Amino acid sequence: MEPLINWKELQFARLGRPAGGPGGAVDWSAMAAMYARMAEMEAEHTTYQVDAFPTDAADTVLDIGCGPGRISIPMARRAARVTAMDSASGMLDACRANVAAAGLDNVDYLQLDWHEAVAGENVPLHDIVICSRTVALSQLERLSEFARKRVAVVMWANAPSIPPILDRIFEGAQDPQNSMRGHGSPDRRLAYNVLYNIVYDLGFEPNVVVVPDGFTRTFATPEEEYDYLRVLRPMLPGAQAEAAFRTNVDHFTTTNPDGSVTFLVTTRSVVLWWDVHPASYEEVWPTHAH
Ligand SMILES: C[S@@+](CC[C@H](N)C(=O)[O-])C[C@H]1O[C@@H](n2cnc3c(N)ncnc32)[C@H](O)[C@@H]1O
């Protein structure tokens, strides 16, 4: 059935039209260490995202654009096997290291660009397909081809993503050219409502679960905290930049009774998930079928 509203065009209005092929200007491998540290600080809140949709212990999972394994790791604890797929070798190396550190051995790695993925050919079908904060969000119509049971996508829910959070922490401490201010700045009119409608018009019954999100970690001392966070962005040299950085970090820090300090930045995510074989109207309401 033809959609009444062209949601796809509205999605392009927000994200820009996808290039349609592999490649791109972003060197993701160069960002693997930063993303790994952010994933570590998000681990507690990531639980809300993976708890938002059903998973069976026997399920296989495909995590598209897995990064350092933020989602792959908790899914590997819930499911039988996970395929962690990413185009960036540096991200897969970080993912491998994190999976090993978590003591898991049920993750397979696939270095492949999403644009070159063909369901059932170079990527086998999996029970659950996950796409979190990555390129496949602009091709929702393709995701279901890779799933036997269910698709789950994760996005920011009209709340800051990682780049603006880092901009805040490094305000006055980084070369302004490194600032990604404006990146992902929320426009409520073109947010997950658009993705919901695209999925709906594809014939599915999408579920929307908005969850609290955040980055947190407790450190023995403030110095330990500064050292952990300082490496997330290249900083300007000098005492002035260091002072600005410390003031920003202190803003998100509380001191605990035992003298340790807890860093916490809060944000919000949304999980949009759907079964790829939804029951038809007649199957839901069999007694009235003629
Ligand atoms: C913002 S990170 C998200 C990582 C992870 N999914 C998460 O939610 O934390 C985006 C990831 O998508 C990967 N990626 C970007 N373009 C891709 C493509 N065309 N094919 C496969 N992976 C891609 C990047 O290498 C990076 O690991």
> Ligand 1 center to residue 133 CA distance, Å?
7
Domains and CATH numbers, the chain: 7-19+26-275 (3.40.50.150)
Q: What is the pLDDT of residues 112-140, one digit of tens each?
A: 999 999 999 999 999 999 999 998 888 99
233 within ligand 1 shell (Cβ under 6 A): no
- How far is the C-alpha of 200 from the C-alpha of 194, rounded, in Å? 10
The rounded percent of the chain whose pLDDT value lies above 70 is 93
271 within ligand 1 shell (Cβ under 6 A): no
Q: What is the pLDDT of residues 145-184, one digit of tens each?
A: 999 999 999 999 999 999 999 999 999 999 887 776 655 5
Q: Which residue out of 92, 134, 137, 165 has the highest number of ligand 1 atoms within 8 Å of its CB and is therefore the one to mutate?
A: 134
- How far is the C-alpha of 136 from the C-alpha of 232, rounded, in Å? 26
Nearest residue CA, atom 14 of ligand 1?
65
Atom of ligand 1 nearest to the CA of 42: 9
* 0.85 surpassed by pTM: yes
> Ligand 1 center to residue 288 CA distance, Å?
46
pLDDT at 185: 62
What is the rounded average pLDDT of the residues 100-108?
98
Give DSSP secondary structure letters for 2-41: --SS-HHHHHHHHH-----SS--S--GGGGHHHHHHHHHH
Nearest residue CA, atom 26 of ligand 1?
67
65 within ligand 1 shell (Cβ under 6 A): yes
Q: Would the pLDDT of 264 be above 70?
A: yes
66 within ligand 1 shell (Cβ under 6 A): yes
How many Cβ atoms are within 10 Å of 79's Cβ, its own excluded?
Answer: 21
67 within ligand 1 shell (Cβ under 6 A): yes
Dihedral sign for Cα 93, 97, 99, 105, please.
positive
Q: Which helix (H) or strand (E) holds 147?
A: strand 147-156
- How far is the C-alpha of 288 from the C-alpha of 17, rounded, in Å? 44
23-27, 189-193, 207-211: which range is least confident on average? 23-27
- DSSP β-ladder status, 81-86 and 60-64: parallel
Q: Would the pLDDT of 22 be above 80?
A: no
Determine the 3-state secondary structure of 214 from DSSP. strand
